[in-house]
Amino acid sequence: MSLKSNELNSDSFSSSIPLEVEEVVGCLRRRWGVTYDLKLLIKKDRIYLQMMWGFLEQQSFPLDEETFKENLNRTLEIINRAGQSDFVRNWLKNVQAKPRLGRAITLPLPMDQRMDEFVL
């Protein structure tokens, strides 16, 4: 079954179990064999989760593992507080695309009142 991010129905993902760093790291390593960097991007009145092309195991990656996990934890904290953990978890498990050099994979996060506090 192939799911694209715009086919995911956010109404069925009202977040129950928070995402944790080790869960996300394990999922990335199982799916792609590397630990891609995840970043939040705020553009106008939207928030996007981006899976970047850089990964922890890359020799030129600018962060050590501890700093990488601290940054990932901050990103996941926002996702969890916004109630989007199940939505993001499902995307991580089902996204068919893979980041390529210079091209991130982007997930638009559903906007609601909880997400509004993160958009200025």
Give how far Cα 110 sits from Cα of 41, 53, 75, 88, 120, Å: 13, 23, 16, 10, 16
CATH number of the domain enclosing 55: 3.30.428.40
**For position 45, what pLDDT does the model report?**
79
The answer to whether 96 and 2 are in contact (CB under 8 A) is yes
Range of the domain at 103: 5-116
The tally of domains found in the chain comes to 1
Residue count (the chain): 120
pLDDT on residue 110: 82
Q: pTM, whole model, 2 decimals?
A: 0.79
pLDDT < 70: residue spans in the chain: 1-15, 112-120
* pLDDT per position as a tens digit, 40-72: 998 887 889 999 999 999 999 999 999 999 999
